[in-house]
Amino acid sequence: MNTAVESARKPVTLHRLREMHAKGEKITMLTAYDATFARLVDEAGVDCILVGDSLGMLVQGHSSTVPVSIDEMAYHTRCVVRGNRTAWVIGDLPFGSYQESREQALRSSVALMQAGAHMVKLEGGGWTAETVHFLTERGIPVCAHLGLTPQSVHALGGYRIQGRDQAGADTMRRHAKELTEAGAAMMVLELMPSAVAAQVQADNPGLMTIGIGAGSATAGQVLVLHDMLHFTRGKLPRFVRNFAAEGGTADDAVRRYVAAVKDGSFPDEAVHSY
Residue ranges in contact with ligand KIV by CB under 6 A: 31, 50, 52-54, 92, 188, 190, 212, 222, 224
Task: Collect all residues with Cβ–Cβ distance below 8 Å to 200 and sequence separation of at least 6.
Answer: 146, 172, 173, 176, 187, 189, 207, 209
Q: Give the shortest CB-227-to-ligand KIV separation in angstroms.
A: 9
Q: Which of 88, 82, 85, 80 is nearest to 27 (CA)?
A: 88
The residue among 6 and 232 lying less far from ligand KIV, judged by its C-beta, is 232
Cis peptide before 267 (omega within 30 of 0): yes
Residue 190 known to be catalytic: yes
Residue nearest to ligand KIV (CB): 52
Catalytic residue among 123, 190, 246, 269: 190
The residue among 155 and 167 lying less far from ligand KIV, judged by its C-beta, is 155
Q: Give the shortest CB-4-to-ligand KIV separation in angstroms.
A: 31
Q: Give the shortest CB-145-to-ligand KIV separation in angstroms.
A: 6
Q: Give the shortest CB-29-to-ligand KIV separation in angstroms.
A: 8
The residue among 28 and 31 lying less far from ligand KIV, judged by its C-beta, is 31
Classify strands 119-121 and 88-92 as parallel, antiparallel or unpaired: parallel
Q: Which residues are catalytic?
A: 190
